[in-house]
Every structure is written in C-alpha cells, then in structure tokens.
Amino acid sequence: MSLVIALFYQVAVNHTSRPPQAGERNGVDYYFYESKAAMQADIASGKFLDVVVQSDHFYATSLQSVVEVLQSGRICILDVNIMTIYRLQTAGLRPIAILLKPETVMQWRGLQRRLTVDQARRMHEACTRMESEHWYLFTAILNLESLDGAIASVNRILQQHKGPRVWLPADQTLSNVDKHLRPA
C-alpha cells in the first residue's frame, strides 16, 4: 500500500523559519529560511496558503509547493483550515476537501491520546460547528470510525473526483471547447 500511496499522492513541502535538524534536506523535508524575518516578509506579502506558529517558529504551505506536486502528476495531500480551502479555490486549484470527523468525544481521545476530556470535547464542538457552517466547502464529510476505513474512503473519493471536470451546455461537445482547455 505504501508504494501505491507514494505513486499517486504526495504532501507539499512546507517552508519553515526553524533551522534544519540533523539529516533534513532543504527542498525535500522543508524549505528552510535563512532568517525568521525573511519568512515574515514572505508571510506579509501573501506567499503562503496556510501559516502556523509552533515553538516560536513559522511553518507554512506555499501555493508553489502545491503546484509542484500537481505538476508531478500526483494528488497533493494537505491538512488545512477553512481559510486555506478558500485560498486554494481562489487560486483556481479546485481542492477535493474532505472533513474527517470523529463522531464522539471519546473517538477524539482515541485518536489523540494526549487530549484531556475537556480538550477533546472542544475539538468535537469545533468540528461540528465547522461542518454546520462550512459544509458547502467539502467534497465529502466522513465519520472517522477506523483508520483503515478512513483511508479506503478517502482513496475512493479522491479517485472519483480527480481530473478536470468541464460542464458544457447540451448543444456543445468537447471538440467545440477543446481549444480553451489546452495550455497556450
């Protein structure tokens, strides 16, 4: 299964302001910035789709990293928030957005054992709120019961939705609009 996943799917290489750790390679594990200030300038200029701060370092996904994966012919896998879905849509990338949601607070704890019951409850409430407020952004909403089941469901959804989709009036054929679909 790992070989199949590697052939069809890839995670975008993120950017970070932290220094490389032993064995990490620039452009493979992360794109490493020379300074935090340089990365902050790129954040301010809107270079990134998604930015998080962890342990006083920035981690971010650029549109260019996503495009590089797509140009390799693979499906790009991202763990994103609602604003990132909007940014991907604005960039014309038509993301396949799948919400994986545990059905109960205890399922949240089963997935992330370090969560307290109160933290798991807040995560569950936030996920439920996200689903009710932004359901229209998701290609699919899956109840996460088991990891194996989720992997199979996600793979099925990705296969069903990959590739360009073109909607045409009933009186047109692809040959009529083909010239608009080809890269210049």
Domain(s) labelled CATH 3.40.50.300 in the chain stretch across 1-78, 96-163
Which distant-in-sequence residues (6+ apart) come within 8 Å of 96 by Cβ? 75, 139, 157, 158, 161, 162
Closest CA to 100 of 78, 76, 74: 78
Neighbours of 50 (CB within 10 A): 20
Quickly list H helices, the chain.
Answer: 2-8, 36-44, 63-71, 82-90, 105-111, 117-134, 147-161, 174-181
Find out whether 69 and 7 touch, Cβ atoms under 8 Å: no
Predicted pLDDT of residue 11: 87
Neighbours of 166 (CB within 10 A): 10
Predicted pLDDT of residue 105: 85
Q: What is the pLDDT along the chain (184 residues), one digit of tens a residue?
A: 455 566 778 888 999 999 999 999 999 999 999 999 999 999 999 999 889 898 899 999 998 898 898 888 888 888 888 888 888 888 887 788 888 888 888 888 887 788 888 988 998 899 899 999 999 888 889 888 777 888 888 888 888 877 665 555 555 444 444 444 444 4
Predicted pLDDT of residue 84: 86
Find out whether 73 and 79 touch, Cβ atoms under 8 Å: no
Query: From CA 101, how far away is CA 81, in angstroms rounded?
Result: 14
CATH architecture of the domain formed by 96-163: 3-Layer(aba) Sandwich (3.40)
Query: From CA 168, how far away is CA 170, in angstroms rounded?
Result: 6
Predicted pLDDT of residue 19: 95
Which tokens sit at 72? 């390799």
Residues facing 142 on adjacent strands: 100
Predicted pLDDT of residue 4: 57
Closest CA to 66 of 137, 11, 4, 138: 11
CATH for the stretch 1-78 = 3.40.50.300
What's the Cα-to-Cα distance from 89 to each of 1, 9, 43, 132, 141, rounded to whole Å? 30, 20, 19, 20, 18
Predicted pLDDT of residue 165: 55
Type of residue numbered 52: V
